[in-house]
Structure formats: structure tokens, C-alpha cells
Chain A
Amino acid sequence: MRRADPTVVPEADRRQTPGPDDAREYGSAEMIRGAVEEMLSTLHGDLSVGHVRISGQLRDLAGYIEATRQELARLRPSEIAGRHIADATDELDAVVQETEDATNAIMQAAEEIEAAATHAAAAPGLSAAVTKIYEACSFQDLTGQRIRRVVRALKEIESKVDSMIAALDGGKSSPDGRRDQHGKPEDSRLLNGPQPPGDAISQDDVDSMLADAD
């Protein structure tokens, strides 16, 4: 009588596994788990200890993926995209609008002073002061550009979160299609915006570069 190989697990002793039809009901993580189980269910005949070890590791992997998916779902990513980022971009848009309104009010006052100063004895001094006000008001343009870059970054994050949600749901929900993807201008790599202090080249540097190229 042939002695049974102690390293082989007879087919009859292997655990029952869900069929492939069950796995197809689920999203991406479940699909991976289902594929693992399906693969295991196709194994026929006696298994070696090595096969059992591999099957155990694959089950652990599927379980890890499922646990990660549940952990990510607990973070409620739909709130990040649908509420938090939307609120943040709305607030930033409001900042830009309010600074524009305030700047226009300042400019209006400065223009009125300049008009009134035409006939005043102190006209030169007033005119110089008004000029400084005009120059200072350019802050609204620069802050607006910086804020616009932040909004753009937030919308990019929102898009990626939407994609992540779609992947976790296995395609049941699709990324938010509201985002209007403008085609990037061909010189988009040159759109760096205002630089941090110390990184921007000075007007003197610009003038030198233009002069050198002549």
C-alpha cells in the first residue's frame, strides 16, 4: 500500500472557496480577492506544503487589501472632494473678489485726490503720493495669481480624490465630471506665477538679459 506523502494536503481536505460569479459582484478590491480565490479553486489534485503556504499568503494579501479599502473608506474621501475642497476654493475665490473690490475703492479715492490736486499748491506732493497708491494696489494682481494657483492645486487634488473614490468603488461611481479640463497652453511650462522672495530675478537682471541678447 502506498504511504501518503505527509507534505501533500489531499484535495478533499482543502477549504471550500467562493466561486468566480460571487467575486464579480464586488468592486476592485473584491475583484482582486475574488481572482485570488478563483485561482485557488482551480487548483486540482493533491497540494504540496508549498502550495498551501502560497495559498495562505494570497489569502492574507486579499485580506490586507480589503482591510486597506475599508480603512480608506472610513476617511470618507467623498467629503474631501464634495465638501472640504469645494468650500476652500469658494472661500479663496471670495478672497480674490473682495480684494479686487477693495482695490477698486482705493483706486477710485486716489483718482479723486489726483483730480482735486490738479489745482492745489501741494499738487506735486499729492501726485507723488497718489502714484505710490497706484503702485501699491498692484498687490491685488499678485495675490490673485497666487490664490489662483492654490485653487488650481486644490482642484487637482479634488480630481485625484474623485479618481480614488471611483477605484475603491470598483467603477460604481465615476469621477466628478463637473471639472472642466481646459487644454493647456503650449507654453504652460513657463506659467510659474509670482516667485517666493529671493527666487525672483530683479528688474536689473531682466534689463541685463535683454541687453545681452541684443
Chain B
Amino acid sequence: MPIDKNIGILVVDDYKTMIRIIRNLLKQLEFSNVDEATDGGTALRKLREGNFSLCISDWNMEPMTGLQLLKEVRADAKLKSLPFIMVTAESKTENVVAAKQAGVSNYIVKPFNAATLKAKLISVFGDF
């Protein structure tokens, strides 16, 4: 069954320009129900209170990093199965390993292109 492109997606990044970029790329893929957060604490609150089907998050944020946000999500009974894609400039092997161990659904290194974002969404939701 093809995915409902009206699903809620939360984009988390402390750089608003990056949120805008991801939002526009998602819009090109016909995903328009996109909310945003510029820090992990706000993101966690929105995820708990809202109805999201995907979280796309940066890693390097303060005070809560994207990795900490991921761990909080996986520790939450309501959110533990939420697809979580890390989009980050952290490109060392140890980062990927840590994210995988924390339960990341997929991992995109910056800079990335629209095709990569689409491919990772397909890996999470299936072809669309």
C-alpha cells in the first residue's frame, strides 16, 4: 500500500536555513505536512504531544544533541518505533556506529542531495 504523503514529519535542526531546505525538498516529493523544531527539547515535546510518522534530525545541537534526542525517542513507549533519520555533518565512523546502536533508522551525511533524501525515505516507508 503506497504511503500516505500527508503523514506528519518533524524536521529538527538549529539552523533554520537547513530546515527550510529540507522542507522544500520534502515538498517536491509531495510531503507537505511538515513541522519544525530548532532544539531537541522542543522536538521531544512536539513528538510526544503530536502525531508524527517521521523525525528528521540534525546531530550537532545544544543543549540536547540529535543523538540524545534519538535515545529519548527510543526510550519513550509511544515513540520507540518512530522512524528517525539523522541528517548531519558528523561523518566519522564512530558517529554512524553510535547512531546505529541508538536505533537510528537511517543516516544522511551533509551535504546531501534530493535523490539521497528520497532514497532514505523509500528505505523507511517503501517505494512511493
Interface residues, chain A, with chain B CB atoms under 8 Å away: 100, 103-104, 107, 110-111, 114, 127, 131, 134-135, 137-142, 144-145, 182-183, 185-187, 190-195, 199-203, 205-206, 209-210, 213
Residue B78 at the chain A interface, CB threshold 8 Å: no
Q: Are B96 and A201 in contact (CB-based, < 8 A)?
A: yes
Residues of B in contact, count (CB < 8 Å) = 40
Interface residues, chain B, with chain A CB atoms under 8 Å away: 13, 15-18, 20-21, 24-25, 28, 59-60, 62-65, 67-68, 89-98, 100, 104, 106-114, 116
Q: Are B15 and A140 in contact (CB-based, < 8 A)?
A: yes
- In the bound complex, residues from chain A placing their C-beta under 8 Å from that of B20 are 104, 107
Contact of B116 among A103, A203, A213 (CB under 8 A): A203
B93 to A: closest C-beta gap in Å:
6
- In the bound complex, residues from chain B placing their C-beta under 8 Å from that of A200 are 91-92, 109
A153 to B: closest C-beta gap in Å:
15
Given A190-B94, A192-B92, A194-B89: A210 and B17 interface contact (C-beta under 8 Å): no
Q: Are A134 and B67 in contact (CB-based, < 8 A)?
A: no
Bound together, the chains give a CA A135 to CA B25 distance in angstroms of 9
Q: Are A141 and B64 in contact (CB-based, < 8 A)?
A: no
Q: Are A142 and B100 in contact (CB-based, < 8 A)?
A: no
Residue of B nearest to A135 (CB): B113
- In the bound complex, residues from chain A placing their C-beta under 8 Å from that of B17 are 100, 103-104, 107, 137-138, 140-141
- In the bound complex, residues from chain B placing their C-beta under 8 Å from that of A193 are 60, 89-90
- In the bound complex, residues from chain B placing their C-beta under 8 Å from that of A203 are 108-109, 112, 116
- In the bound complex, residues from chain B placing their C-beta under 8 Å from that of A194 are 89, 91, 110
Bound together, the chains give a CA A85 to CA B90 distance in angstroms of 27
Bound together, the chains give a CA A195 to CA B100 distance in angstroms of 20
Given A182-B62, A190-B95, A200-B91: A131 and B100 interface contact (C-beta under 8 Å): no
Q: Are A206 and B98 in contact (CB-based, < 8 A)?
A: no
Given A190-B92, A209-B96, 18 more pairs with CB closer than 8 A: A103-B17, A134-B21, A135-B112, A138-B111, A138-B112, A186-B68, A190-B67, A191-B60, A191-B90, A192-B90, A192-B92, A194-B91, A194-B110, A199-B91, A201-B91, A203-B108, A206-B91, A210-B104
A194 to B: closest C-beta gap in Å:
4
Given A185-B62, A206-B107: A107 and B18 interface contact (C-beta under 8 Å): no
Instruction: Pick the 3 closest A-B CB pairs, nearest first.
Output: A200-B91, A194-B89, A141-B18
9 A-B residue contacts at CB 8 Å?
Answer: A114-B24, A134-B24, A134-B114, A142-B89, A142-B111, A145-B60, A185-B64, A190-B98, A210-B107
Residue of B nearest to A192 (CB): B92
Bound together, the chains give a CA A203 to CA B90 distance in angstroms of 11
- In the bound complex, residues from chain B placing their C-beta under 8 Å from that of A182 are 62-63
A160 to B: closest C-beta gap in Å:
22
- In the bound complex, residues from chain A placing their C-beta under 8 Å from that of B98 are 187, 190
A118 to B: closest C-beta gap in Å:
12
Residue of A nearest to B116 (CB): A203
Kindly name the residue among B59, B96, B108 whose own CB sees the greatest number of chain A CB atoms within 10 A: B96
